[in-house]
Structure 1
């Protein structure tokens, strides 16, 4: 057990910054906070709860695994983080739906290890994509897209798409909490804008039988509402010699489709930007921060007075 414990501590300490582990059954993500002689302290991302994982408990689980393979689904919630860390030691691994000793296991590799790129939360991804887009806009002339080289033009399209998609998801996540706080005629004001409750109705027909019966009750001819069903028409096209241009008017539109995103390259670029920001911690940057704080204070005063 001494060798396995040493391997767990070594691999836990050498995890790449930002990477997390995921519990095998419940899928809870956690990070290693600190490693001590008799314990490894982890923090769960979904609750910020810190929990010590004790060496003696690792020994109990190791003894159980030494007796044979254990079904992953049988792992209890309290055992899951222990099992995830054990698979880093180069002694145990997962095959199929079971975890057990494997002489071919590779230290530092685990099916429960999540890379820093994938471990980011949705707000973090939006922040990172917006930062990359802002950095790109600083060094290109986006007012004249046609003058750009192909590489930056492609990056402009991809990053704009990622920011739009991510920001929209973030916007939707903020919608329900805001609706809970908004009364029928109430407006809420933030620093950057105002929101109010809006009701929009969307109509969809009831089932055919109900609609047709209602028409009959009012003496309305059914033929007035009956039309061509596109789904049924497609079936007819597929099984007869009827041609598409005989029953469809086809309008063709050409657009650019994003087919892939290199998240690893984006993350690598982010690390470079973060390093440069850290290097700005000098008198000039401090002066700039002070100036920005003063501007924000003046804006707050103006908004309060207005």
Structure 2
């Protein structure tokens, strides 16, 4: 029953990953004699039976199993065993520990915060950003406390990053639907297909042949190659400031994101919503449902 108990204790939304093929999956059903799992990358479902766990556990008491040699069918079993106190991973092997204090540390569990898809992260970050904007005057950053301004910058950066990632994905799908000069209209705007040229020089010989055919001096197109110049700087005593005009520009760089803190804040917002009762609660829920609908429409557009 330790396996079932450990699966029940997993935080909702936790994702598991197979050790060798790195396929993400989740436990969808827990029964006394079996577990049912679903792979996130394909939707495939599998049943993991209790007696098979027993066979694997008996084998591990005698021999460690190399992750690189795990059969694909055994991988989910190994993943689910590793969080138990008697098992774990050591030197890329699945191993049994006679001392329970040494086991239970699994690298194949992904927290709910980290397991979210990119659209889910964008949705959550947008909610957090909306909540933050509700509580401060972002139009006058000079008056903001430093920690609030830092949070604002991080969330704006995260939303921009995930939105651009999703925008590129949406662009590929739209290009398949758009013919030349066609326009598509949505609730929030209109798009059309357009073409931009991105020029890349051919190889040197092709360029030189074309120039020679027209008696154009090669010197006209020869210039400084930055990559080659950097190599010269690295292997000679040439000073950088002799060949580069250097201008320093101060900027803000996001170096870390507290995903767990953001996820915790989202849970707090959800818990606060559950505590609100009466007409105010219904009105707030209606507002959130409307916001969700608008976000879904924007994402689908």
Aligned to 2:260: 264
CA spacing shift, 1:244–1:195, aligned 2, 3 Å: same
Runs of at least 5 residues in structure 1 that lack an aligned partner in the other structure: 1-5, 298-306
Kindly indicate whether the alpha-carbon contact (under 8 Å) linking 1:179 and 1:197 is maintained by their aligned counterparts in 2: yes
Partner SS for 1:276: helix
* Deviations 1:170-216 (CA, angstroms, capped at 9, x unpaired): 11122222211222222223332222222111001111111111101
CA spacing shift, 1:293–1:45, aligned 2, 3 Å: closer
Residues 57-206 of structure 1 aligned to structure 2 (within 5 Å): 57-106=52-101, 108-206=104-202
* Deviations 1:31-88 (CA, angstroms, capped at 9, x unpaired): 2223211112222222334332111221222233233112212222222111111112
CA spacing shift, 1:21–1:212, aligned 2, 3 Å: same
Partner SS for 2:158: helix
CA spacing shift, 1:74–1:105, aligned 2, 3 Å: farther
* Structure-2 separation of matches of 1:295 and 1:265: 23
Aligned to 2:227: 231
Partner SS for 1:181: coil
* Structure-1 separation of matches of 2:225 and 2:291: 60
* Structure-1 separation of matches of 2:73 and 2:88: 19
Kindly indicate whether the alpha-carbon contact (under 8 Å) linking 2:273 and 2:281 is maintained by their aligned counterparts in 1: no
With 231-240 and 132-141 compared, the bigger mean Cα shift is at 231-240
Residues 34-53 of structure 1 aligned to structure 2 (within 5 Å): 34-53=29-48
CA spacing shift, 1:291–1:33, aligned 2, 3 Å: closer
1:240 deviation in Å? 4.7
Kindly indicate whether the alpha-carbon contact (under 8 Å) linking 2:87 and 2:104 is maintained by their aligned counterparts in 1: no
* Structure-2 separation of matches of 1:268 and 1:21: 20
With 96-105 and 110-119 compared, the bigger mean Cα shift is at 96-105
CA spacing shift, 1:105–1:190, aligned 2, 3 Å: farther
Runs of at least 5 residues in structure 2 that lack an aligned partner in the other structure: 294-301
Kindly indicate whether the alpha-carbon contact (under 8 Å) linking 1:89 and 1:108 is maintained by their aligned counterparts in 2: yes
Aligned to 2:217: 221
* Structure-2 separation of matches of 1:123 and 1:117: 13
Kindly indicate whether the alpha-carbon contact (under 8 Å) linking 1:21 and 1:30 is maintained by their aligned counterparts in 2: yes
**Residue number among 244, 251, 254 corresponding to 2:247 in the alignment:** 251
* Structure-1 separation of matches of 2:259 and 2:291: 35
Kindly indicate whether the alpha-carbon contact (under 8 Å) linking 2:53 and 2:77 is maintained by their aligned counterparts in 1: yes
Provide the aligned length of Structure 1 versus Structure 2. 292
Aligned to 1:212: 208
TM-score w.r.t. structure 1 length? Answer: 0.86
* Structure-1 separation of matches of 2:120 and 2:151: 19
RMSD: 2.5
- 1:18 matches 2:13: yes
* Structure-1 separation of matches of 2:290 and 2:10: 41
* Structure-1 separation of matches of 2:264 and 2:182: 45
CA spacing shift, 1:42–1:128, aligned 2, 3 Å: same
